[in-house]
Structure 1
């Protein structure tokens, strides 16, 4: 059985979309994490040190403006969407995040790569 929230998706706070647009255009920070609170996706954190920004026991969504060099020494960047669901998070929490992910991701225009991770080692380039 699919719950109403799974079928429709969570509401997305306007601040999430605004901060994502800033990350894409102004590049004032390199990552944003989002969490679900009271049936809505809201802003959690933003900054420059992405690797230490995800909680060990709770699910989150994140976007990361990832800078890298090609084999030809050309500087590039890609915006990566991360669905973070650590093994130690509660099953219900994982289900809520999984069922709302696609709806939330559609609100963020410009995602180039999607990654699902349960452990920090799964996010190494």
Structure 2
């Protein structure tokens, strides 16, 4: 993969009909994590830690920050947060693929200064199995 423009990484939410881009995001991040299951015992070779493959819990975290430029996406994200809903979200990674599946908005923050624009930050956690699609 060659160098990519960061702005081409898109965060989208399913609005009931299709995936809609969350407007005004300046930064986006997708992180994958896998919990380990330690099966080390007194007979482990050299007392090195042993892990049980495929046994840990996997999860993904999405986050973004920016400006709400579009009332529809602002209302959708805010409504999803306050309702505690789990919706289908999608991250488009240019020249790589898409990651989509159920996520819950776990944080929604608004900030502003007296001489600047209103900004927001949101955090999402996976709430089920994710799918990867090749672009």
Tell me the TM-score normalised to structure 1 length.
0.29
- Say which structure is richer in helix: 1
